[in-house]
Amino acid sequence: MKESLPLGRIAGVRVGLHWSVLVIVALVTVMLAGGRFPDAHPHHSSWAYTVLALLTALVFLASLLVHELAHAVVAQRNGVQVDGITLWMLGGVARLRSEAPTPAAELRIAGVGPLTSAVLGAAFTGLALWLDAIGVSGLVVEAVAWLAAINVVLAVFNAVPAAPLDGGRLLRAYLWHRTGDPVRATRGASAAGRALGWFLVVLGFAMVLFEGNLSGLWSALIGWFLITAATEEARHAELGAVLAGLPVRRVMTRDPVTVRATVTVAAFLAEGPFGAYRHSAFPVLAADGAPAGLVTVRLVNEVPVQARSATTVADVMRPLADVATASPDEAVVDLLPRLEASRERRALVLDGEHLVGIVTLADVSRAVSWLTATTRPRT
């Protein structure tokens, strides 16, 4: 899930919002302002319901962020690097750079999420009781009570033992500990996730068809997300088994063709595709030879024709901070999630501050094809 709006860093973790987060803000606001709040506490103005509902939706998003931050902080403490957190329509996603090293670490990383939501639920419950005791408006108390309830629901739902929910991670940790095989454990958790997903899809459409309840569409959407995510986890586990122990240096393209940051777009285009630049993406080097970013033909093509003589590659390139990078000795299986999440589906391979190669998803796919062909038993 790619972020659309970066929010900066919290506890050293990059945080961003996906555009679909507007959907959940709108849904929560409409649901509270148009239903729950007026039903529970009538005789307030419509703007009061709307403003309070919007604030409640934003606090709910903050609760999701705290949940994901808990995962990220515990992951870092267990030696797992975190690329970032993205909030989106169906919650939040903490992007871990690699898998947990042990079942115990997996248990801690996964378990802290539902625990955090449960603690938030208890805290909001206590706050609602205190506000009610001191005579604060019942409408405000209702908003805090809803936040308490929704966090408890999140804690319970996330604890369901089905991937990709936190409970699925807990199930994976248990199966990993019991069998000693992380791939087999992932298969089990993913199968449980797909089963739960199909149940929610069928339940959702049944609600729509037999009861005329359109909220069933939301259940079906969540179910479809669980099916897709669980299937993807199983696929990554199988890839991990094939790519186990394979370093990036074995699949990368060594000494790739580069372009200087000071070259104009016009000069760059004059050299391709029949000159030096025969590919569609190139590492960009600064004046001192250090890697500065990545430029693609698509980025160059966005420059107006009349401005290409005065525009340099540095003006249009993707800065190094926004490009996926890897070290030559890093495991391909650990790089793969970053490659798939990157805009350009490429990663620059750096040995210290020196560029030594470039790796693409196509390179990984070729490696998987060869490894599968050489290890598959003949029939």
The alpha carbon of residue 287 and the mean position of all alpha carbons in its chain are separated, in whole angstroms, by 35
- The pLDDT assigned to 376 comes to 52
Q: How far apart are CA 87 and CA 142, in angstroms?
A: 25
| 3-state helix vs strand vs coil in the chain, percent to 5 | 60, 15, 25
- Dihedrals φ, ψ of 360, to 5°? -125, 170
13-53 pLDDT, tens per residue? 888 888 888 888 998 999 999 988 999 999 899 999 999 99
Mean pLDDT of 55-60: 96
- The pLDDT assigned to 145 comes to 97
From the list 273, 320, 331, 321, the residue with the least C-alpha distance to 300 is 273
| Among the ranges given (167-176, 316-325, 339-348), the one the predictor scored with the smallest mean pLDDT | 339-348
Mutual angle of helices 361-375 and 332-341, in 10-degree steps: 140
CB-count exposure of residue 273 (10 Å: 0-12, 13-18, 19+): exposed
Q: Where are the domains of the chain?
A: 5-159, 180-244, 248-375
127-182 pLDDT, tens per residue? 999 999 999 999 999 999 999 999 999 999 999 999 999 999 999 999 999 999 99
**Residues shown for the chain:** 379
Confidence class for position 371, pLDDT limits 50, 70, 90: confident
Cβ contact 175:185 at 8 Å:
yes
**Percent of the chain surpassing pLDDT 70:** 97
pTM score, whole prediction: 0.78
Superfamily of domain 248-375: CBS-domain (3.10.580.10)
> Which residues touch 375 (CB under 8 Å, ≥6 apart)?
242
Confidence class for position 372, pLDDT limits 50, 70, 90: confident
From the list 127, 4, 124, 1, the residue with the least C-alpha distance to 62 is 124
From the list 36, 28, 103, 108, the residue with the least C-alpha distance to 70 is 108
- The pLDDT assigned to 375 comes to 60
pLDDT at 106 over 60: yes
**Annotated catalytic sites, by residue?**
68
| Residue type at position 117 | S
Tokens of 33: 């302002």
Confidence class for position 252, pLDDT limits 50, 70, 90: very high
Q: Where does 53-114 show beta strands of DSSP type E? A: 82-88, 91-96
Tokens of 337: 């999630």
Q: Left (φ > 0), alpha (ψ -120 to 50) or beta: where does 346 sit?
A: beta
Average pLDDT of the chain to the nearest whole number? 90
